[in-house]
């Protein structure tokens, strides 16, 4: 086990894995671009193809979490809810406290067969990020600038287009709008006090407009809202860099299902419902901190082999010519080729590190609280 841990920490192996992800992602993006000719001919076929292309990319990250780092995830959930996973359109409300919370959400999607068709309400800046933003663009992800006057038309039209989506989809929402930090929490609670809203201990004040708009536009399509509260054993603070280094984490998720027909129809009442939900999420976190677990029955989702097989396919396809080329460079003895290949490796390592940096708490998030309180939802 010590040897395996050492091998996982080797930079050259991590670089090769990053190479596979980046190059396969660029190939997938190119294929997605080519599929655009299908949109005016057969929109649903375009969507089905792009779901599978996206799966081929995102499942490599799931492989990293499940097979490389060995991270385990336990669901606290009733069996009736598990039985509906992957069999209905749903909105997923996930707390935004950890660097890899998105990866835990994707792993849950992969386990139940809807990773390729999962959706998010993403900030517009991510559209410019290679691989991630480009893949999302072809998947009809809804991007917003967090300025409602500018976003209104874009968000409504983007959500309306998803009403006839042919694959079951989970629409993941981070209602807090940005990742939790102590500074943002203080500002958020000042806003809560000014608006007469109950204060939260472990969450930021939810921004209700994104949720109410999504629910309003997708009503008749989505049949349930899943509330997911994520935490990690032993106060772990997981990072994507830790996952890349092969560090194992133990995740716990409390999942509750709310049928859409039981939710308030009025926008203001729905916003009030969301605030109450976050008070309940806060209570769940308090219980977890005291007892080390969430209430309810536990289910350990099966670890599927498809993400591993998908990665091995891309690794075999891409690393064979790369290794052959590298050996040729060394054997050639040409200083120019060796220097050029070294520069390529340096650029590749910097690019991969920048992609990892997109997830880091200190480098992401928004200028939360820098706007006037009246702009907060």
For residue 269, what pLDDT is reported?
Answer: 94
DSSP secondary structure letters along 289-338: HHHSS-SS-EE-----SHHHHHHHHHHHHHHHHHHHHHHHHHHH--HHHH
β-strand partners of 257: 226
For residue 372, what pLDDT is reported?
Answer: 38
DSSP letter (8 states) at residue 222: B
pLDDT by position in tens, the chain (length 377) = 577 777 787 878 888 888 899 899 999 999 999 999 999 999 999 999 999 999 999 999 999 999 999 999 999 999 999 999 999 999 999 998 888 898 999 999 999 999 999 998 888 888 888 888 999 999 999 988 777 777 888 889 999 999 999 999 999 999 998 888 899 999 999 999 998 888 999 999 998 988 999 999 998 999 999 999 999 998 888 988 899 889 999 999 999 999 999 999 889 999 999 999 999 999 999 999 999 999 999 999 989 999 999 999 999 999 988 888 777 777 777 777 777 767 766 776 666 666 655 555 454 445 554 443 444 44
| Distance from chain centroid for Cα 29 | 18
Please list, residue by residue across 79-100, b when 16 or more beta carbons sit within 10 angstroms of its beta carbon and e when fewer do.
eeebeebeebbbbbbbbbbbbb
Q: Rounded distance, CA 295 to CA 7, Å?
A: 38
> What is the reported pTM?
0.88
For residue 240, what pLDDT is reported?
Answer: 87
For residue 377, what pLDDT is reported?
Answer: 43
For residue 124, what pLDDT is reported?
Answer: 84
Are 119 and 139 spatial neighbours (Cβ–Cβ below 8 Å)? yes
**Distance from the first to the final alpha carbon of the chain:** 49
Q: Rounded distance, CA 231 to CA 130, Å?
A: 29
For residue 118, what pLDDT is reported?
Answer: 94
| Distance from chain centroid for Cα 93 | 12
DSSP secondary structure letters along 330-372: HHH--HHHHHHHHHHHHHHHHHHHHHHHTT-TTT-S--TT-S-
How many Cβ atoms from other residues are within 10 Å of residue 147's Cβ? 11
Which among 25, 26, 4 is positioned nearest to 13, based on CA atoms?
4
Q: Rounded distance, CA 346 to CA 203, Å?
A: 39
Are 56 and 188 spatial neighbours (Cβ–Cβ below 8 Å)? no
Distances (CA, A) of 173 to 29, 217, 307: 24, 14, 24
Which among 54, 3, 69, 24 is positioned nearest to 239, based on CA atoms?
69
- Diameter of the chain by CA atoms? 73
Instruction: Give the contacts of 304 (CB within 8 A, at least 6 positions apart).
Output: 110, 111
Are 90 and 225 spatial neighbours (Cβ–Cβ below 8 Å)? yes
Q: Is the dihedral of CA 286, 291, 293, 298 positive or negative?
A: negative
Does the domain made of 69-304 have the CATH classification 3.40.1130?
Answer: yes
């Amino acid at each position: 086990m010590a040897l395996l841990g050492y091998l996982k920490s080797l930079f050259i192996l991590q670089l090769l894995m990053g190479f596979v992800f980046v190059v396969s992602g660029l190939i997938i993006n190119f294929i997605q671009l080519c599929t655009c000719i299908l949109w005016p001919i057969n929109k649903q076929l375009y969507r089905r193809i792009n779901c599978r292309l996206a799966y081929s990319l995102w499942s490599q990250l799931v492989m990293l979490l499940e097979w490389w780092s060995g991270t385990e995830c336990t669901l606290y959930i009733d069996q009736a809810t598990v039985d509906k996973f992957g069999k209905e359109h749903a909105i997923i409300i996930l707390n935004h406290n950890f660097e890899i919370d998105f990866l835990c959400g994707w792993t849950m999607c992969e386990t139940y067969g809807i990773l390729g068709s999962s959706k998010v309400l993403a900030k517009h800046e991510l559209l410019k990020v290679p691989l991630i933003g480009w893949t999302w663009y072809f998947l009809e992800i809804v991007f917003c600038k967090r300025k409602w006057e500018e976003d209104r038309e874009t968000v409504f039209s983007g959500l309306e287009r998803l009403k006839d989506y042919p694959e079951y989809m989970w629409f993941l929402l981070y209602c807090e709008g940005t990742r939790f930090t102590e500074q943002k929490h203080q500002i958020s609670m000042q806003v809560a006090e000014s608006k007469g809203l109950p204060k939260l201990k472990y969450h930021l004040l939810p921004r209700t407009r994104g949720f109410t708009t999504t629910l309003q536009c997708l009503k008749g399509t989505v049949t349930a809202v899943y509330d997911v509260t994520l935490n990690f054993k032993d106060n772990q603070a997981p990072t994507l860099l830790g996952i890349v280094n092969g560090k194992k984490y133990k995740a716990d998720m409390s999942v509750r299902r709310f049928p859409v027909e039981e939710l308030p129809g009025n926008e203001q009442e729905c916003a009030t419902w969301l605030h109450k939900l976050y008070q309940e999420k806060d209570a769940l976190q308090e219980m977890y901190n005291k007892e080390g677990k969430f209430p309810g029955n536990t289910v350990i989702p099966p670890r599927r082999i498809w993400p591993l097989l998908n990665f091995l396919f891309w690794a075999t396809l891409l690393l064979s010519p790369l290794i052959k080329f590298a050996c040729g460079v060394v054997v050639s003895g040409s200083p120019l080729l060796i220097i050029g290949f070294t520069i390529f490796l340096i650029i590749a390592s910097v690019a991969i590190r920048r992609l990892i940096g997109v997830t880091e708490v200190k480098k992401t998030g928004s200028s939360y609280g820098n706007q006037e309180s009246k702009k907060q939802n």
